[in-house]
Amino acid sequence: MGTVPTGIRGLDVLLHGGFPRGSTIVVEGAPGTGKTTLGMQFLYYGALKDREAGIYITFEEFPEQLYRDMLAFEWDLRQLEREGLLRVVGMSPDIFLEQMIEPGGLIESMIRELNCKRIVVDSISLFRYGAASEEEHRRMLYKLRNLLRKLELTSLLVKEREAADEQSGFEAYIADGFMKLSLKPHMDKYRVRMLEILKMRGRRIREGEHVYRLTDNGIRLIPARSMIEDLALLNGRSRVPTGVAALDELLEGGLTRGSVYLLDTNSKANYKYFIASVLANRIRDGEKVMAMLSSFLTPHDLDKMLALQGLSMSGMAEEERIYFIEHYTRPYPPNCEANVLDVSRMNNAEYRNIVEQKITALVSGGGNWFAYYDLNTILAERGKEYIAKYFAADAAGVKALGMTMLVLCNFSEIGPEVSAFLERTSNGVIRTWVDGAYQYMQVTKSPNGVISEPYVVETTTQAPFMRLS
Ligand SMILES: Nc1ncnc2c1ncn2[C@@H]1O[C@H](COP(=O)(O)OP(=O)(O)OP(=O)(O)O)[C@@H](O)[C@H]1O
Ligand SMILES: [Mg+2]
């Protein structure tokens, strides 16, 4: 398939490199939002950097006007035209369609002559006036989309946003991609330019609206803040597979090392296999684990579950590869005692101090560490206040140590306010819940911007004993 860089800084980041090659993308926006600039920038940088020829079809402006306007960004379109890398063509929508449809027509010959890879049509809104009916209008657009595909062009179709159409029109359905430019009220007295990608076939898209600016060298998009932080995190960090194939694939290899993930479950959901799979995979990868088990997941339970994965908890403890924080003074399998930090009689201040000291000392001893933290236990034993007060600091501390942490929690028990805070504080959120006869699992936040649909959790007979379908 391949990827075509958009020529717009920031936008490529959101699109994981650019537009899917050969796709047709509608760019919709109100007057003056920068549609023409975006289209021309796509062709300009394509020609300049990738030496890919492009054609700009304009129905509204004279090419001369465009050349002049684009000089504001210091884009020398004439030079590219001389090099055979660009054509700016002014024509009427009727003639364009006529010439486009005709095999060997004007457009097709131009495409062949230039070996053209990219095209911008500014704007398709005008087709409506040439069409006898709405139905014919749609048929025309559909035909155009098919022709552009056949010619293997990566195409941007500019569309005016009319105040009336609150919903995206037919264009959004037939196109492979759909982006919206808008001017939004911002903090009462300002307006800010926002770009939103609503659709991009074959690409995971980073949801939400992103600010863009019209600068002296064209459009620059600034990906929303949380994403920049998380992208910095992604750079150069490896992944931590969970052992659940579909999830690891979705997360581009697994959890991002050095980040904090929430696993939100309700009481009916079975999360134990998932936890066991993650921990077993960590151990097998030679990592060290710090685990806090809940009243629902006892040391004995985990021992059994790890045994199903072919691992011995005693053996791992002996090799100093697994440690525990224990709130309930329960018995552990043989040889584990030395690795259990019993915190059941500690008050909150002592607990925080000692756990921090102990973890820092252990982690500083070397190796890659994974922490499994149980917020349900913290909620029961230390209180909601403790979570609200310390979770952000603890998460930051864990990240600073380079540990990856999976945090079990139950949003419905913790309540919406603290849950929202937890969600913001974490790099990723995985949810699993039971609804009727099925259990589901869904990624609702991740450092790489992936948000998944809800998957059904199926039980299997072999490790990891679960599968997402
Ligand atoms: N160097 C620059 N710095 C900042 N803004 C600029 C610069 N040059 C042009 N602009 C602004 O860019 C906008 C024009 O963008 P453009 O023509 O791409 O929008 P458009 O969506 O195609 O508009 P229309 O609907 O009128 O076709 C104008 O609002 C203009 O003021
Ligand atoms: Mg324009």
Residue that finishes a domain, picked among 223, 244, 275: 223
pLDDT of residue 236 exceeding 60: no
Q: What is the pLDDT of residues 316-374, one digit of tens each?
A: 999 999 999 999 999 999 999 999 999 999 999 999 999 999 998 998 888 899 999 99
Report which ligand 1 atom has the smallest distance to the Cα of 158.
22
Q: Which domain holds residue 337?
A: 231-468
> Ligand 1 pocket check: which of 27, 28, 33 to mutate, most ligand atoms within 8 Å of Cβ?
33
218 and 256 inside one domain: no
CATH code of the domain covering residue 406: 3.40.50.300
State the alpha helices, DSSP H only, in 251-347: 272-284, 299-308, 313-318
Are 147 and 218 members of one domain? yes
Same domain, 309 and 436: yes
Ligand 1 centre to CA of 34 (Å) is: 5
Give dist(CA 387, CA 95) in Å, integer.
66
Q: Mean pLDDT of all residues in the chain?
A: 90
| Ligand having the closest approach to the CA of 160 | 1
Residues 112 and 253 in one domain: no
pLDDT at 225 over 90: no
Are 197 and 271 within one domain? no
User: In this structure, are 314 and 447 located in the same domain?
Assistant: yes
Instruction: Name the residue type at position 354.
Output: I
The three-class DSSP label of residue 69 is: helix
Ligand 2 centre to CA of 1 (Å) is 30
Closest by CA to 38, choosing from 91, 153, 46, 174, is 46
Show the CA angle centred on residue 278, arms to residues 275 and 284, nearest 5°.
135
What separation in Å is there between the alpha carbon of 39 and the centre of ligand 1? 12
206 and 245 together in one domain:
no
Write the residue with the smallest CA distance to atom 3 of ligand 1: 215
Residue 300 and residue 217 in one domain: no
Q: 223 alpha carbon to ligand 2 midpoint, in Å?
A: 24
Most confident of 183-187, 193-197, 445-449: 193-197
Instruction: Output the pLDDT for position 205.
Output: 76
Residue 468 CA, ligand 1 centroid: distance in Å? 47
Question: Could you give the CA distance from residue 344 to residue 88 in angstroms, rounded to a whole number?
Answer: 74
Q: Last residue of a domain, which of 163, 192, 223?
A: 223
Question: In this structure, which ligand is nearest to the CA of 34?
Answer: 1
Separation CA 180–CA 178 (nearest Å) = 7
Residue that is last in its domain, among 194, 223, 252: 223
Taking CA atoms only, the protein residue closest to ligand 1 atom 11 is 214
| Whether residue 341 is found in the same domain as residue 301 | yes
Q: Which ligand is nearest to the CA of 191?
A: 1
Q: Are residues 187 and 217 in the same domain?
A: yes
Edge-to-edge order in the sheet of strand 177-186? 86-90, 53-58, 116-122, 154-160, 24-29, 177-186, 190-200, 209-215, 218-222
Nearest CA residue ID for atom 25, ligand 1: 31
Q: How close is the Cα of 160 to the center of ligand 1, in Å?
A: 14
169 has a pLDDT exceeding 90: no
Q: Same domain, yes or no, for 327 and 354?
A: yes
Assess whether 292 and 365 both reside in one domain. Answer: yes
Q: Atom 30 of ligand 1 has which residue's CA nearest to it?
A: 32
Output the ligand 1 site: residues, CB below 6 A: 29, 31-37, 72, 214-216
From the CA of 60, give the closest atom in ligand 1. Answer: 27
Domain count, the chain: 2
